[in-house]
Structure 1
């Protein structure tokens, strides 16, 4: 996410005095709610969906995730790279390539 976009999200929250509502628990709930609204876009078809609606719901998820990163003082690159290192260890290419099995089934 560009610094300008991050600042725009922060400004939206600041200008409206919404930080008071942005507890980690509330943000986690909001992320889950918006993720379910994203899932709803695919409720009746894996192929016939409204891409504009998908983009809106995905944006909502990302905005709430950005707010949670800020609230917890986390850096997205740090936490994503830490998780990727764990996933790469659990799913080595030679065992996982082309498979959807959980790591303990490889």
Structure 2
């Protein structure tokens, strides 16, 4: 069977993270990026993308950060997507179930920071 292409991965909208992770695997494989996608490199790239996301809010007031112009909001969305995609790839490389880890972290936080 021929290797799936990214376009084939998105014939239908991704219904869950598993489908998105599979599309990321295909995307990286098509470009022979596996040698570069070590956990260390992905964590570094994630950090860089998070800084690029933060850059959009540098020097804004709290109020300005809550009401972005449509063009700025689209730019922020693109950076947020970069952060999300690198995080998914990092978790994929380390065999971390991100949804389960997030659920567990919320339980831990609920105990650590109980509601008044």
Q: What TM-score do the two structures reach when normalised by structure 2?
A: 0.74
> In 2, Cα distance between the equivalents of 1:5 and 1:29?
21
Paired residues, number: 94
Which consecutive segments of 4 or more residues in structure 1 shift more than 3 A? none
When the two chains are superposed, the root-mean-square deviation of aligned CA atoms in Å is 1.5
Q: Which residue is equivalent to 1:66? A: 88
> What are the ranges of 5 or more consecutive residues in structure 1 without an aligned counterpart?
95-106
> In 2, Cα distance between the equivalents of 1:57 and 1:78?
24
Q: Which residue is equivalent to 1:54? A: 76
Contact 2:52–2:79 (Cα < 8 Å) also in 1: yes
Cα deviation, 1:11-41, whole Å, max 9, x if unaligned, reads 1111111121111111111111000000001
Q: Which residue is equivalent to 2:5? A: none
Q: After alignment, is 2-11 or 68-77 more displaced? A: 2-11
Q: Which residue is equivalent to 2:100? A: 78
Cα deviation, 1:55-105, whole Å, max 9, x if unaligned, reads 1100000110010011001111111111111111110001xxxxxxxxxxx
Q: What TM-score do the two structures reach when normalised by structure 1?
A: 0.80
